[in-house]
Structure 1
């Protein structure tokens, strides 16, 4: 077992479980239970939010069970990397579900018990996101005290978390196939989102498995090429998606309609025009994240070149030190 692995005692694990994991389980369980009991008033957004809360509940339960029964060594990946990565995703998921559900659905519900249920579910979702943020902060503090390197405590890992999370939100919005089918340019945009998501997810998983301890220079060049490819693909999507969705000359709809599901009142489905706009905004946000990722790896390659020219054996002789300099 690696000497860099923190081995919290049973008391510490029980403390984390009682003060963080149990409230997380309770909050996510109450959130999706309240929405699940709303019947036809749940709506598509409610079902989408409920599925996210269910995922957070299930993953928190699995991680808690593994830690309580001391089965972490059964997993091929670095366990604490997995747990803190999930906590980062869960915090973003619960926060996004709270915002989207309240803006697109809760405010249109009529006053009564169903609206109260939806407001309570949103509140518990916000509480869950705060608890997951606290967990991430506590784990990072533990590693800082131990002066231990772990992948998710680096800039490149946080960028990958953001890239994959934004892509997942876009995929949830793109479940409505009528937004892009029968139009090759829009299908290309969806392919771009999928390709970039897969690349980012693979790199993130390799990082969690500590694959980044390969020779630094080839790894940095490999990451630079992937980031450049992702930026170019996202630039094409940022141009084509708004052009074909909002340009009247190309069959798009420049203004938000006021009929169907786009009425300013409670509807079962989310307005298709709002979905198109949300995907366009998220495309721009993810492009900025990929540009930041590209800049990071361009700097790493530049610094690595200087290090190799001045001290060719320094990186190979101190791989852990080189990686630890990347800790935030």
Structure 2
């Protein structure tokens, strides 16, 4: 059943970006994010199917089941967001291809969610890796929310303002270090570090939560200093709306980093020391 769902997901994601491309390109960063999501999911799903069909997956230098389960979780989350964004901004009553892409995208989300349910309900008896545990899921969520922030940012929004530039630096630094942590754990290289990797993660989570606290205060303070209310000529989706999206995504990521810090401290000092 899992293999059938992966083949279906590869076909459906291919249909999504084909229909969206046929419906016409758009200069919006959200359109680019939707196309990237479908292409990204198609490529890695197709790669997973090929590697498992040729049994090459047994020779990879990382936990394969951990990787595929984590990818299914990430793909289901990405498809869910895209299934909301694309029909909201890029469909109309006469846009048949765009409507088709939106409908197929929802089916993609259901397919990936079904794969997650199957892999979590019927595990193969192996020890769960980092990415399929709660800390790993939170790390993927942190990077995913950061990607949504980057998609919503326009260069003119923070150019020339040191406060907003600090916020962008916070988003970028935390994103980079989260990716590094994911790659180190996925490649099982944490044991080669000269210091305790768990302590490094705890310190990083605390610093990231503090940095996001500053961004959560500074971003709305400076970005809405000129226009505190939505301009009347804003249109369907204007730069002011993107500022609101970045504000809410900053709050969400602050919450995730705080929960990650609390859980990592509890895991190391309360559970492992028993």
Q: Structure 1 length as normaliser, TM-score?
A: 0.77
**Is 1:263 matched up with 2:230?**
no
**Is 1:137 matched up with 2:117?**
yes
Q: Confirm or deny: 8 A CA contact 2:66 2:128 kept in the other structure.
A: no
Q: Alignment partner of 2:196: what SS? A: helix
82-91 or 185-194, larger mean C-alpha shift: 82-91
What is the distance in 1 between the residues matched to 2:69 and 2:272?
A: 32
Q: Confirm or deny: 8 A CA contact 1:237 1:283 kept in the other structure.
A: yes
Q: Which runs of 5+ in 1 are unaligned?
A: 1-14, 265-269, 308-328
Q: Confirm or deny: 8 A CA contact 2:17 2:38 kept in the other structure.
A: yes
**Partner residue, 2:68:** 83
**Partner residue, 2:256:** 289
What is the distance in 2 between the residues matched to 1:162 and 1:124?
A: 24
What is the distance in 2 between the residues matched to 1:278 and 1:243?
A: 14
**Partner residue, 1:155:** 134
What is the distance in 2 between the residues matched to 1:98 and 1:88?
A: 15
Distance 1:118 1:286, change over 3 A: same
**Partner residue, 2:34:** 49
Q: Confirm or deny: 8 A CA contact 1:35 1:118 kept in the other structure.
A: yes
**Is 1:206 matched up with 2:184?**
yes
Q: What is the deviation of 1:178?
A: 1.2
What is the distance in 2 between the residues matched to 1:198 and 1:47?
A: 21
Residue among 106, 110, 120 paired with 2:100: 120
Q: Deviations over 1:69-104 (max 9, x none)?
A: 111144322222222221111111111011112223
Residue among 31, 34, 40 paired with 2:16: 31
Q: What is the deviation of 1:302?
A: 2.4
* 1:242-253 aligned within 5 A: 242-248=220-226, 253=227
**Is 1:183 matched up with 2:161?**
yes
Q: Confirm or deny: 8 A CA contact 2:72 2:113 kept in the other structure.
A: yes
**Partner residue, 1:229:** 207
**Is 1:302 matched up with 2:253?**
no
What is the distance in 2 between the residues matched to 1:305 and 1:72?
A: 32
**Partner residue, 2:52:** 67
Distance 1:302 1:65, change over 3 A: same
Q: Structure 2 length as normaliser, TM-score?
A: 0.91
What is the distance in 1 between the residues matched to 2:191 and 2:125?
A: 20
Q: Alignment partner of 1:152: what SS? A: coil
**Partner residue, 1:325:** none
Q: Confirm or deny: 8 A CA contact 2:2 2:118 kept in the other structure.
A: no
What is the distance in 2 between the residues matched to 1:306 and 1:51?
A: 43
* RMSD, aligned CA: 2.2
* 1:99-114 aligned within 5 A: 99-106=84-91, 109=92, 111-112=93-94, 114=95
Q: What is the deviation of 1:301?
A: 3.1
What is the distance in 2 between the residues matched to 1:180 and 1:221?
A: 34
Q: What is the deviation of 1:43?
A: 5.4
Q: Confirm or deny: 8 A CA contact 2:146 2:175 kept in the other structure.
A: yes
Q: What is the deviation of 1:225?
A: 0.5
Q: Which runs of 5+ in 2 are unaligned?
A: none
Q: Confirm or deny: 8 A CA contact 1:35 1:46 kept in the other structure.
A: no
